């Protein structure tokens, strides 16, 4: 069912590889502060792919015998999966609205905590085929740009930003999540895409960022929560502590996330 | 065709019980879908422009895909069934691979070939400024890519099942190979052809992964019914249920229309004269 860009496929493979390297001897035990071992399942917004993959490595180093299984998707899809009873321990979304649907369904253990903010940036392919220089160039005829579908947080934010800046040109496609948008730009199929600033960083030299006016007034806040049905509640709390603690702050800041 | 007779004895429970489990396994999700559908406002939702747009687009693109598939699929199936040529197994492998390929991978492959930076797409774009992704024709391409194998395998099977002697007799009576194909082989393969059409169309109608990867997702141009269901699943579950039921009803209606003797024959094997 899921649609993935090659970039995300690669990062998923990398994640799996990392998870595989982690706790191969599951019975070592006694290393961490709690006795839980096994697999911790973390569902996270697609925009957290790089940071959470890094943090998972760190977490596994601190918790021998623990493997972190990461699943990245649109926050809306993940929230939906959690309310439908998908087995997972932690959920991190890219906006408070999607997290709220899970809180309302009593899916979280306690309140969600905000741990980062993000803003939108426009990205163009490295060779910039349409020759876009500023955000308002989206209005030029024939420019093909893509956004997230409006049920995803990045799509909601894109709609807000487009409205705030008075851009009336329509996108050619609403992609399922922010990595799919980035993928279409990296491949050069789209002339531009609206992604999170962190994804513009993650895109490396395959894309070039262009700032969006008003984007620092329009921010998404990222909440994280341990889930009510977590099979590893103690590890879930530890993961939330890692993400909201100094290590998490540093990794997130390095990737371009703002403070909550 | 059904064997009736006293000699066979009772059907054994060890076969009947798993068979019933199979029926329940297939039937229950469909019934559950119907049970959860908000029937009270079904009609008002049915006439929502967004849903009508998606339905119209799905119909147009899936039928266009079937036309493409028929045009290239029949000759391809005939060549595989009737012509001895070196590398035929390789050609057949090429036909079968999209069948087992995850649709998303198919979408990535289509981008690599027909995208603006693709193997064939790039020269096309440079020469004529034509770019396929994000357009309705791209949806047809994605549909045709995933449904062609179903059609070719079905028609090839039907062509192989009909006796080659008929072709030989037609040839001895002076028919050219083209006439033989048109007047003898093709009519004999009729039921298999129809079954192939239905399979190909159903596959196209339900196609999601390759479409959203290659063609994108925008209302009116590329948001087909399955794309709309995926989007609404995150937005408005009730709308997603309505869309799902519509898609299911359309598929069942077409199956029922074609069920008549042609499709039965296709399932039970070709008619012997």
Per residue in B163-192, pLDDT (tens digit) is 788 888 888 888 888 888 888 888 888 888
Q: Does A237 touch chain B (CB under 8 A)?
A: no
Indicate yes or no: CB of B133 within 8 angstroms of CB of A189.
yes
Amino acid A16: pLDDT: 41
Is the ipTM higher than 0.95? The answer is: no
The span from the first CA to the last CA of chain B, in angstroms, equals: 15
Nearest CA in chain B to A146: B216
Architecture of domain A119-210: 3-Layer(aba) Sandwich (3.40)
Q: How confident is the model at residue A2 (pLDDT cuts 50, 70, 90)?
A: very low
CA–CA dist B212, A206 (Å, integer): 22
Chain B residues lying within 8 Å of A175, measured CB to CB: 216-217
Indicate yes or no: CB of A174 within 8 angstroms of CB of B218.
yes
DSSP one-letter string for A99-167: HHHHHHTT-BSS--EEEEEEEEEEEEETT-TT---SGGGGGSTT--EEEE-TTSHHHHHHHHHHHHHT-
Q: Is B152 helix (H, G, I), strand (E, B) or coil?
A: helix
Indicate yes or no: CB of A174 within 8 angstroms of CB of B217.
yes
Residue closest to B110 by CA, chosen among B76, B102, A195, B151: B102
A77 to chain B, closest Cα gap in Å = 6
CA–CA dist A116, B176 (Å, integer): 74
Contact B53, B224 (CB under 8 A): no
Domain ranges of chain A: 6-116+221-254, 119-210
User: Which residues does A213 contact at the CB level (< 8 Å), separation at least 6?
Assistant: A135, A165
Indicate yes or no: CB of B134 within 8 angstroms of CB of A188.
no
Paired strand residues for A168: none
User: Can A6-116+221-254 and A119-210 be said to share one CATH topology?
Assistant: yes
Nearest neighbour of B104 by CB, restricted to A3, A80, A170 = A3
B106 to chain A, closest Cα gap in Å = 11
* CA distance to A2, A29, B118, per residue, from B112 (Å): 19, 47, 5
Q: Does A96 touch chain B (CB under 8 A)?
A: no
Backbone phi, then psi, for A3, in 5-degree steps? Answer: -105, 130
Chain B residues lying within 8 Å of A172, measured CB to CB: 134, 216, 218, 221
Nearest neighbour of A172 by CB, restricted to B107, B115, B216 = B216
Contact A236, A90 (CB under 8 A): yes
> Please, what sign has the CA dihedral across residues A6, A12, A13, A15?
positive
Give A230 or B237, the one with higher predicted confidence.
Answer: A230
B88-126 pLDDT, tens digit per residue, is: 999 999 998 988 899 999 999 999 999 988 999 899 988
Q: Tokens in use for B262? A: 């042609």
Q: pLDDT at residue B46 above 90?
A: no
Amino acid A10: pLDDT: 44
Indicate yes or no: CB of B107 within 8 angstroms of CB of A184.
no
Indicate yes or no: CB of B117 within 8 angstroms of CB of A144.
no
Amino acid B171: pLDDT: 87
A36-59 pLDDT, tens digit per residue, is: 888 999 999 988 999 999 999 999
Q: How many percent of chain A have pLDDT more than 70?
A: 87
Task: Write down the CATH superfamily of domain A6-116+221-254.
Answer: Periplasmic binding protein-like II (3.40.190.10)
Amino acid B1: pLDDT: 45
Q: Could you give the dihedral angle defined by the CA atoms of residues B210, B215, B217 and B218, in that order, rounded to the nearest 10 degrees? A: -160
Query: What is this structure's pTM?
Result: 0.78
Instruction: Calculate the average pLDDT of chain B.
Output: 87
Q: Does A1 touch chain B (CB under 8 A)?
A: yes
Amino acid B5: pLDDT: 53
Pick the CATH number of B48-268 from 1.10.3720.10, 3.40.50.11540, 3.30.465.10, 3.40.50.300: 1.10.3720.10
Nearest neighbour of A189 by CB, restricted to B116, B209, B234 = B116
> Please, what sign has the CA dihedral across residues B10, B12, B13, B19?
negative
Paired strand residues for A223: A114
A12-33 pLDDT, tens digit per residue, is: 444 444 443 333 333 333 334 4
Q: Is A9 helix (H, G, I), strand (E, B) or coil?
A: helix
Q: Does A192 touch chain B (CB under 8 A)?
A: no
A176-221 pLDDT, tens digit per residue, is: 888 899 999 999 999 999 999 988 988 889 999 999 988 778 888 9
Nearest neighbour of B134 by CB, restricted to A4, A80, A173 = A173
């Amino acid at each position: 069912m899921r649609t993935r860009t090659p970039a995300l496929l690669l990062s998923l493979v990398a994640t799996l590889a990392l998870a595989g390297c982690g706790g191969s001897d599951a019975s070592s035990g006694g290393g961490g502060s709690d006795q839980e071992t096994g697999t911790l399942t973390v569902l996270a917004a697609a925009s957290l792919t790089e940071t959470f993959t890094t943090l998972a490595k760190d977490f596994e180093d601190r918790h021998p015998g623990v493997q972190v299984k990461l699943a990245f998707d649109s926050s809306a899809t993940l929230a939906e999966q959690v309310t439908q009873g998908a087995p997972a321990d932690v959920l991190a979304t890219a906006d408070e609205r999607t997290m709220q649907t899970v809180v309302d369904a009593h899916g979280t253990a306690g309140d969600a905590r905000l741990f980062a903010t993000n803003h939108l940036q426009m990205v163009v392919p490295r060779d910039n085929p349409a020759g876009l220089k500023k955000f308002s160039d989206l209005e030029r005829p024939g420019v093909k740009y893509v956004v997230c579908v409006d049920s995803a947080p990045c799509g909601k934010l894109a709609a807000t930003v487009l409205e705030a800046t008075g851009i009336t040109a329509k996108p050619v496609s609403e992609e399922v999540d922010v990595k799919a948008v980035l993928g279409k730009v990296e491949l050069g199929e789209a002339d531009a895409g609206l992604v999170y600033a962190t994804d513009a960083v993650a895109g490396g030299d395959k894309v070039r960022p262009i700032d969006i006016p008003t984007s620092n007034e329009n921010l998404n806040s990222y909440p994280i929560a341990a889930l009510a049905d977590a099979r590893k509640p103690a590890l879930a709390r530890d993961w939330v502590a890692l993400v909201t603690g100094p290590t998490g702050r540093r990794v997130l800041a390095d990737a371009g996330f703002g403070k909550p | 065709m059904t064997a009736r007779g006293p000699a066979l004895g009772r059907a054994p429970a060890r076969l009947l019980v798993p068979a019933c489990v199979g029926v329940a396994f297939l039937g229950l999700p469909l019934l559950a879908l119907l049970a959860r559908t908000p029937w009270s406002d079904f009609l008002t939702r049915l006439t929502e422009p967004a849903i009508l747009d998606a339905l119209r687009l799905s119909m147009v693109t899936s039928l266009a895909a079937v036309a493409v598939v028929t045009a290239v699929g029949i000759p391809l199936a005939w060549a595989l069934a009737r012509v001895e040529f070196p590398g035929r197994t390789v050609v057949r492998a090429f036909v079968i691979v999209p069948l087992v390929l995850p649709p998303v991978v198919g979408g990535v492959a289509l981008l690599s070939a027909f995208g603006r930076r693709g193997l064939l797409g790039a020269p096309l774009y440079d020469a004529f400024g034509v770019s396929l992704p994000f357009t309705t024709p791209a949806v047809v391409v994605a549909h045709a890519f995933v449904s062609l194998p179903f059609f070719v395998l079905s028609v090839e099977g039907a062509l192989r099942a009909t006796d080659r002697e008929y072709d030989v007799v037609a040839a001895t009576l002076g028919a050219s190979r083209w006439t033989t194909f048109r007047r003898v082989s093709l009519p004999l393969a009729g039921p298999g052809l129809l079954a192939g059409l239905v399979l190909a169309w159903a596959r196209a109608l339900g196609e999601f992964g390759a479409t959203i990867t290659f063609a994108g997702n925008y209302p009116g141009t590329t948001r087909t019914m399955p794309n709309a269901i995926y989007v609404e699943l995150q937005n408005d579950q009730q709308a997603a249920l309505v869309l799902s039921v519509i898609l299911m009803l359309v598929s069942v209606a077409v199956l029922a229309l074609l069920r008549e003797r042609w499709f039965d024959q296709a399932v039970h094997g070709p008619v012997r004269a």
